């Protein structure tokens, strides 16, 4: 009977009986494995969605000329001059249909889905506008272009009249040479603002004569105003292609002045009538497009339809249109393809790759920290099975059975938990799971299991082991070798990242770069554990001179506990590094985003125009929240000539004193040197470039003798998406040298509210700011636009999630540090309580013993976390998340690291308070009853 009982108590019964006593540790490990696996699997899947949205963001934020597929055609003229005639000519045929068919042929099915129906437009050179009844307009020297655009059909609200129809009247005009020219009177529309400024109304007939600025010798024509309109959405990009459709604009002339020009608009269906009026094609000459009109096709990409894989079809389409001659066989005249879409796609691919590189630091840190904490949990669980291991061994259990049981008791629950998390997450979220993620999950699951098995195997080997001093020497030697290997790997990783940084920054994820912060943290923990006894020992000797015994005992134990608590301290260093690293990178991105915005704007806000007059400056300065408005001339095509060699610079002509004052308190704050004006030379402050003391400054083709007043690198600016050398000169001094100097920019010192109001006005009605205004940019607007992009938001969310998970794992590492040091500390407390240790002394002992370990680990982690971004800076290109035109230097962020370290110290204090609360529940009798088994 007894024999049957013993036979029935097999491995399964051992497993069931032994699981219950330590199920808390096993369940904790399972929960940690589940949470960590969920994070590691979800992050790349969420990244895939961010990549899709990132392409839409890249297209949406780009200028129309960069994101749209545009084609442009000006047909060749049969004759160099349009000839008037007394009869109407042939009906010109627009080239739109033939080109549409050719482009559609070049598109694959997926590319076809990505574009809206093409938008066709045609536009003439400027004409001088006059009333047909010879009455004067309300303004003089009125000019306009004729634009054929179907935006009238769906994008306007009619304030009077309605959509222009086909012409019903004819009119005979007389050319300047006295020839008669018979034309159809074409109905057109006019912006309500322009109609009021000109003083015209629906029904007025206008005669248009060629302007002296026209590039083609065309014939006069006649129009009738059929309606006036207001745009339903003035910020719609369709109006950006020709702002003159919305109002009268001032167009600069070659002599430095301006001309008022508007645009009369007709639907594309009026093409033949308009074309015949300004460039007659004789009857019988065959179908042809009008050589007097510039034709444009604009295939607009729909951002909402884009996913990352669409980059391939778009690139293929551009290549086909550029290189495949067969596409254009049916087109009489091949248009030019105008698109920056290929450049935009290249930049997007780089942004995606850089995002993957940056988030790999988070996943690498979380994986390493999770492995350490889970491994430490498994070690604690296995250590608590020491009695069971000895009992099983004494009863003759095999090594394999004991190892299997301990592994199952401590870490086996982590495997199904991780598998469940991986399956549920991968099924719930779209996107595939990369192989690298599977490797990380395998490490999280298997290494804790391996740790439990290893420590149990060593315990089994030690049961029958004969004491031998040589074994201790061997262990010490192995530890030294392992520490040297860790340090060597860290040095090698940093060296590799620095040597291959440009390749990695270009988007090639490198495993060495990913684990570099972790390896440096491991090396720092090795150094911290080795250095720990010295400062803590000094503190214990100082404490020995005091009256209390607890502080001395705690510090002495801390000085001797470093090696036995190596794994908890290492986890603490890695956790602090992860938190400090994400904090430092987040602070770097925030700081660089602000700096990039200021470099792009040049002030709090900037108003660009073809020309700025004093009245424009006064009007802007009077806006609420604007404390300074500085007129400036910004010329990107200027140059510095030294010894006959010219270097391109961006000229910024402004009042230096007022500009320096307006930049105080911003990332652009600079100390400009004195710039006295001397006869014959212009003082110039450069941000870089040639080092010559004197040179020629080329402004609008004119060379001006100049001298270097100083070099201020902080003057560098990013204009048009590019950074370049800036030459700052006093505006008034430039005016003395060049009398025709006219500002084209206003730099504003403005509050956030003023920036928002200015940007709103620019979107709704730019003409309210000024007829010459071409653009308004603000620091807050640029900064917010970059922060709202999908890739930037994903990286920020990944940092936050990584920081939270890292903080949780670090807290668990602290609790496990207390757990590993508690048995010996409890034994000491038992003895001290029998000697009269007052109640509460055990808490002071815990603080004195653990806080030095905590402090050393936090300091090491903070140092690594703060300087790790600098160590791998060659592999970091934060421009996709900062909006910078060029890579900005990565600088250490001690404040961010200090705050992260303070947070970890707070977590440590909470862990100690929790431990103290647990210890306070026991009394002396309980401690004595525990005895050596406590």
pLDDT reading at 449 higher than 70: yes
pLDDT band per the 50, 70, 90 thresholds, residue 7: very low
DSSP one-letter code for 431: S
pLDDT reading at 870 higher than 70: yes
Of the ranges 430-434, 730-734, 861-865, which one carries the lowest mean pLDDT score? 430-434
- 745, containing H or E segment: strand 745-750
pLDDT band per the 50, 70, 90 thresholds, residue 469: low
Which residue would you say has higher pLDDT here, 492 or 823?
A: 492
Place of tokens 């084209």: 744
pLDDT band per the 50, 70, 90 thresholds, residue 102: very high
pLDDT reading at 694 higher than 70: yes
Tell me the range of 204-208, 513-517, 884-888 where mean pLDDT is highest. 204-208
- What per-residue confidence (pLDDT) applies to 772? 67
**What CA–CA distance (Å, rounded) separates 864 from 853?**
17
Those residues with Cβ within 8 angstroms of residue 747's Cβ, 6 or more apart along the chain or in another chain: 602, 603, 605, 606, 629, 630, 632, 654, 659, 662
Work out the average pLDDT over 823-848. Answer: 71
**What CA–CA distance (Å, rounded) separates 593 from 667?**
11
DSSP 479-537: HHHHHHHHHHHHHHHHHHHHHSHHHHHTT---HHHHHHHHHHHHHHHHHHHHHTHHHHH
pLDDT band per the 50, 70, 90 thresholds, residue 504: low
Q: Which residues pair with 864 in a beta bridge?
A: none
pLDDT tens-digit readout, 117-175: 899 999 999 999 999 888 888 887 789 999 999 999 888 999 999 999 999 999 998 88
Of the ranges 76-80, 245-249, 375-379, which one carries the lowest mean pLDDT score? 76-80
**What CA–CA distance (Å, rounded) separates 705 from 693?**
11
Which residue would you say has higher pLDDT here, 72 or 513?
A: 72
Work out the average pLDDT over 642-651. Answer: 86
- What per-residue confidence (pLDDT) applies to 8? 47
- 47, containing H or E segment: helix 23-61
- What per-residue confidence (pLDDT) applies to 924? 45
- 794, containing H or E segment: helix 790-834
Q: Report helix, strand or coil for 177.
A: coil
pLDDT band per the 50, 70, 90 thresholds, residue 3: very low
- What per-residue confidence (pLDDT) applies to 355? 87
- What per-residue confidence (pLDDT) applies to 28? 84
pLDDT reading at 834 higher than 80: no
- What per-residue confidence (pLDDT) applies to 660? 92
pLDDT band per the 50, 70, 90 thresholds, residue 378: confident
**What CA–CA distance (Å, rounded) separates 248 from 235?**
17
pLDDT reading at 580 higher than 50: yes
Q: Report helix, strand or coil for 638.
A: strand
pLDDT tens-digit readout, 904-922: 899 888 888 877 666 555 5
pLDDT band per the 50, 70, 90 thresholds, residue 932: very low
Work out the average pLDDT over 667-674. Answer: 89
Q: Which residues pair with 607 in a beta bridge?
A: 746, 776
pLDDT reading at 283 higher than 90: no
Q: What is the value of pTM for the model shown?
A: 0.81
pLDDT reading at 2 higher than 60: no
How many Cα atoms sit within 13 Å of 300 on the Cβ side? 15
**What CA–CA distance (Å, rounded) separates 767 from 878?**
36
pLDDT reading at 468 higher than 60: no
pLDDT band per the 50, 70, 90 thresholds, residue 15: low
Work out the average pLDDT over 844-872. Answer: 86
pLDDT reading at 77 higher than 70: no
- What per-residue confidence (pLDDT) applies to 465? 59
Backbone angles phi, psi at 288, to 5 degrees: -160, 155
- What per-residue confidence (pLDDT) applies to 285? 64
Closest to 412 measured CA to CA, from 685, 709, 15: 15
pLDDT reading at 74 higher than 80: yes
Tell me the range of 77-86, 106-115, 474-483, 672-681 where mean pLDDT is highest. 106-115
pLDDT reading at 343 higher than 80: yes
Of the ranges 336-350, 496-510, 647-661, which one carries the lowest mean pLDDT score? 496-510
DSSP one-letter code for 826: H
The CA-atom distances, in angstroms, between 257 and each of 56, 187, 250, 607, 771 are 41, 32, 9, 19, 14
pLDDT band per the 50, 70, 90 thresholds, residue 840: low
- What per-residue confidence (pLDDT) applies to 681? 86
pLDDT reading at 98 higher than 50: yes
Which residue would you say has higher pLDDT here, 457 or 258?
A: 457
Backbone angles phi, psi at 263, to 5 degrees: -140, 125
- What per-residue confidence (pLDDT) applies to 496? 82
Q: Are 441 and 41 in contact (CB under 8 A)?
A: yes
Closest to 562 measured CA to CA, from 538, 530, 535: 530
**What CA–CA distance (Å, rounded) separates 711 from 688?**
6
- What per-residue confidence (pLDDT) applies to 19? 56
pLDDT reading at 521 higher than 50: yes
Those residues with Cβ within 8 angstroms of residue 667's Cβ, 6 or more apart along the chain or in another chain: 591, 594, 595, 598
């Amino acid at each position: 009977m007894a024999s049957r009982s013993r036979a029935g108590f097999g491995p399964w019964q051992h497993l069931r009986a032994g699981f219950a006593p330590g199920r808390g540790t096993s369940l904790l490990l399972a929960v940690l494995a589940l949470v960590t696996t969920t994070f590691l699997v979800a992050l790349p899947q969420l990244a895939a969605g961010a990549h899709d949205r990132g392409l839409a963001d890249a297209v949406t934020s780009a200028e129309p000329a960069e994101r749209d597929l545009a084609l442009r055609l000006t047909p060749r003229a049969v004759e160099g001059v349009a000839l008037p005639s007394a009869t109407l000519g042939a009906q010109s045929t627009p080239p739109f249909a033939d080109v549409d068919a050719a482009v559609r042929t070049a598109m694959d099915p997926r590319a076809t889905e990505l574009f809206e129906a093409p938008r066709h437009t045609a536009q003439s050179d400027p004409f001088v506008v006059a009333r047909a009844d010879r009455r004067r307009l309300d303004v003089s020297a009125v000019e306009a272009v004729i634009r054929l655009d179907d935006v009238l059909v769906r994008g306007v609200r009619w304030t009077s009249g309605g959509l222009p129809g086909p012409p019903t009247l004819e009119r005979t005009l007389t050319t300047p040479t006295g020839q008669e020219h018979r034309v159809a009177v074409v109905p057109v529309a006019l912006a309500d603002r322009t109609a009021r400024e000109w003083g015209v109304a629906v029904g007025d007939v206008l005669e248009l004569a060629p302007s002296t600025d026209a590039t083609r010798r065309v014939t006069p024509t006649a129009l009738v105003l059929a309606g006036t309109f207001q745009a339903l959405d003035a910020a719609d990009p369709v109006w950006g292609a020709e702002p003159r459709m919305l109002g009268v604009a001032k167009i600069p002339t070659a002599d430095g002045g301006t001309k008022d020009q508007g645009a009369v608009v007709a639907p594309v269906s009026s093409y033949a009538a308009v074309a015949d009026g300004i460039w007659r094609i004789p009857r019988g000459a065959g179908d042809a497009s009008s050589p007097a009109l510039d034709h444009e096709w604009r295939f607009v990409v729909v951002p909402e339809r884009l996913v990352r894989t669409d980059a391939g079809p778009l690139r293929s389409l551009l290549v086909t249109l550029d290189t495949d001659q067969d596409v254009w066989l049916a087109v009489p005249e091949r248009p030019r393809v105008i698109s920056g879409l290929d450049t935009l796609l290249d930049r997007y691919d780089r942004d995606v790759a850089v995002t993957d590189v940056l988030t790999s630091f988070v996943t690498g840190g979380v994986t390493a920290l999770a492995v350490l904490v889970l491994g430490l949990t498994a070690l604690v669980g296995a250590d608590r099975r020491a009695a069971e291991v000895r009992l099983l061994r004494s009863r003759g259990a095999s090594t394999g059975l004991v190892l299997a049981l301990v592994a199952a008791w401590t870490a086996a629950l982590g495997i199904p938990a991780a598998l469940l998390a991986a399956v549920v997450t991968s099924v719930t979220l779209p996107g595939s799971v990369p192989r690298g993620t599977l490797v990380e999950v395998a490490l999280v699951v298997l290494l804790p299991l391996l740790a439990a098995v290893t420590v149990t195997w060593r315990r089994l080997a030690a049961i029958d082991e004969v004491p031998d001093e040589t074994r201790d020497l061997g262990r010490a030697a192995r530890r030294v070798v392992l520490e040297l290997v860790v340090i060597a790997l860290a040095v090698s990783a940093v060296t590799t990242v620095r040597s291959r940084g440009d390749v990695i920054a270009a988007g090639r994820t490198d495993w060495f770069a990913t684990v570099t912060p972790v390896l440096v943290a491991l090396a720092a923990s090795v150094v911290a554990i080795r250095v720990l006894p010295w400062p803590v020992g000094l503190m214990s000797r100082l404490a020995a001179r005091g009256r209390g015994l607890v502080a001395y005992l705690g510090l002495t134990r801390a000085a001797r506990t470093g090696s036995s608590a190596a794994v908890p301290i290492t986890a603490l260093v890695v956790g602090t590094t992860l938190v400090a690293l994400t904090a430092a990178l987040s602070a770097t991105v925030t700081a660089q985003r602000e700096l990039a915005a200021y470099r792009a704007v040049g002030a709090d806000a900037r108003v660009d125009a073809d020309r700025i007059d004093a009245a424009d400056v006064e009007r802007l300065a009077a806006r609420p929240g604007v404390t300074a408005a500085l007129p400036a001339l910004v010329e990107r095509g200027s140059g510095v000539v030294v010894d006959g060699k010219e270097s391109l610079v961006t000229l910024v002509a402004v009042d230096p004193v007022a500009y320096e004052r307006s930049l105080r308190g911003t990332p652009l704050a600079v100390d400009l040197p004195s710039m006295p004006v001397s006869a014959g030379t212009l003082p110039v402050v450069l941000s870089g470039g040639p080092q010559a003391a004197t040179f020629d400054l080329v402004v609008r083709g004119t060379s001006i003798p100049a001298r270097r007043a100083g070099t201020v690198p902080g003057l560098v600016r990013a204009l048009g998406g590019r950074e370049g050398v800036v030459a700052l000169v006093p505006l008034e001094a430039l005016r003395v040298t060049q009398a025709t100097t006219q500002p084209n920019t206003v730099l504003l010192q403005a509050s956030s509210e003023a920036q928002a109001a200015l940007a709103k006005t620019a979107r709704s009605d730019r003409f309210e700011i000024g007829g010459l205004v071409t653009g308004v940019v603000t620091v807050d607007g640029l900064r917010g636009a970059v922060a709202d992009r999908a890739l930037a938001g994903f990286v920020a969310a990944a940092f936050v999630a990584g920081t939270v998970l890292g903080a949780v794992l670090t807290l668990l590492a602290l609790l496990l540090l207390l757990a590993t040091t508690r048995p010996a500390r409890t034994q000491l407390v038992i003895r001290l309580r029998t000697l009269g240790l007052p109640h509460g002394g055990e808490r002071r002992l815990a603080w004195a013993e653990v806080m030095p370990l905590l402090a050393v680990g936090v300091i090491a982690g903070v140092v690594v976390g703060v300087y790790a971004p600098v160590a791998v800076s060659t592999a970091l290109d934060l421009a996709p998340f900062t909006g910078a035109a060029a890579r900005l230097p990565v600088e250490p962020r001690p404040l961010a690291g200090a705050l992260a370290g303070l947070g970890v110290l707070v977590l440590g204090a909470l862990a100690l308070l929790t431990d103290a609360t647990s210890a306070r529940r026991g009394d002396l009798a309980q401690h004595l009853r525990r005895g050596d088994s406590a």
